């Protein structure tokens, strides 16, 4: 189908992505680098050094880092178990991970309030079996909990995908050559699954770093992440210039994680699709 006409068919999409992907990003830079009178300034970007903003960025980095690590630790064994099941079963298993997305994401996160509250379901259970109650609602722990809950499937699916693609003959060859289970895992399975791991890490880290909803719902609006600061500048204070400036700072971290993904995942093997 390599005729000229087909090539021209890419124009509508090229136009669409110019209008709704490229120009909007240019807008973020335009607003971020100007003040209310339209004069060029770095003030919006530099305001990240204000203690309030800097603290929110640090907390967001810390919490999203912790959530990403825990997601990885939970997901890897899970993906290994799922990939070892026979194929009829694992289609169902994947569905199980996608299905919760059909219940509204805000309501699902709010349900954790009911579960985690000081007089909530989990604490009631803990008290009945005479264990100490957890006091985690409205603390950073609850936010980490919500991040793990919401983004776990994004870590499981890419790792699962690469693990399924590993040639079983490689594992058998390693064993035939005298490697034990641990060596086979460390020398064969783990290195081959790196693209999936990296892809999973970005797919969890970026939304966790930039969230404002989870911190809003589970942090009792006392803990501000950088996402909350930006959201408030846009919706409450209508200070689009400051909000854009902080978004540029945020994008820096996103771009860094994209570059890392691109380096490790050249063939797009780890994509979740």
**Sole binder of other proteins in the list 36, 105, 170, 173 (CB under 8 A):** 105
Binding mask 225-244 for other proteins (x = CB under 8 A): --x--xx--xx----x--xx
Q: Which residue has the tokens 């993906």?
A: 79
Residue 40 pairs in a beta bridge with 34
Q: Which stretch, 36-44, 54-62, 164-172, 250-258, contacts other proteins (CB under 8 A)?
A: 250-258
Whole-angstrom distance, CA of residue 72 vs CA of residue 75:
5
The token duo for 48 is 């990240």
**Sole binder of other proteins in the list 111, 171, 192, 260 (CB under 8 A):** 111
Q: Residue 179 interacts with other proteins (CB under 8 A)?
A: no
The token duo for 258 is 């994209």
Whole-angstrom distance, CA of residue 239 vs CA of residue 73:
40
Q: Residue 207 interacts with other proteins (CB under 8 A)?
A: yes
Q: Residue 131 interacts with other proteins (CB under 8 A)?
A: no
Length in residues, the chain:
273
Q: Which of residues 54-93 bind other proteins (CB under 8 A)?
A: 74, 77-78, 81-82, 91-93
Q: Residue 252 interacts with other proteins (CB under 8 A)?
A: no
Q: Residue 193 interacts with other proteins (CB under 8 A)?
A: no
Question: Are the C-beta atoms of residues 273 and 57 closer than 8 Å to each other?
Answer: no
User: What burial letters (b/e) apply to 71-110, b meaning 16+ CB within 10 Å?
Assistant: beeebbebbeebbeeeeeebeeeeeebeeeeeeeeeebbe
Give the closest residue to 199 by CA, choosing from 152, 262, 147.
262
**Sole binder of other proteins in the list 53, 56, 117, 155 (CB under 8 A):** 117
**Beta carbon nearer to other proteins, 183 or 235:** 235
**Beta carbon nearer to other proteins, 58 or 85:** 85
**Sole binder of other proteins in the list 39, 107, 169, 236 (CB under 8 A):** 107
**Beta carbon nearer to other proteins, 107 or 129:** 107
């Amino acid at each position: 189908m390599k005729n000229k006409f087909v090539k021209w068919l890419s124009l509508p999409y090229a136009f669409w992505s110019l209008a709704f992907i490229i120009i909007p990003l240019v807008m973020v830079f335009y607003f971020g680098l100007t003040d209310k009178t339209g004069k060029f300034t770095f003030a919006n970007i530099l305001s990240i050094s204000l203690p309030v903003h800097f603290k929110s960025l640090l907390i967001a980095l810390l919490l999203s880092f912790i959530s990403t690590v825990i997601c990885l630790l939970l997901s890897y064994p899970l993906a290994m178990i799922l990939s070892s099941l026979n194929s009829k079963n694992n289609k169902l298993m994947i569905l199980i991970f996608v299905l919760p997305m059909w219940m509204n994401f805000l309501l699902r996160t709010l349900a954790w309030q009911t579960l985690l509250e000081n007089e909530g379901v989990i604490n009631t259970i803990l008290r009945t079996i005479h264990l100490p109650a957890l006091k985690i609602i409205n603390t950073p722990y609850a936010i980490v909990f919500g991040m793990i809950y919401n983004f776990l499937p994004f870590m499981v699916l890419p790792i699962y995908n690469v693990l399924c693609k590993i040639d079983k003959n490689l594992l058998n060859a390693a064993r035939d050559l005298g490697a034990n289970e641990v060596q086979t895992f460390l020398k064969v399975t783990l290195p081959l699954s790196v693209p999936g791991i990296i892809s999973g890490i970005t797919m969890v880290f970026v939304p966790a770093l930039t969230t404002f909803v989870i911190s809003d719902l589970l942090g009792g609006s006392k803990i501000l992440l950088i996402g909350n600061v930006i959201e408030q500048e846009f919706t409450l204070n209508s200070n689009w210039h400051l909000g854009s400036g902080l978004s540029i700072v945020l994008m820096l971290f996103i771009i860094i994680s994209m570059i890392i993904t691109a380096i490790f995942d050249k063939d797009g093997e780890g994509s979740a699709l």
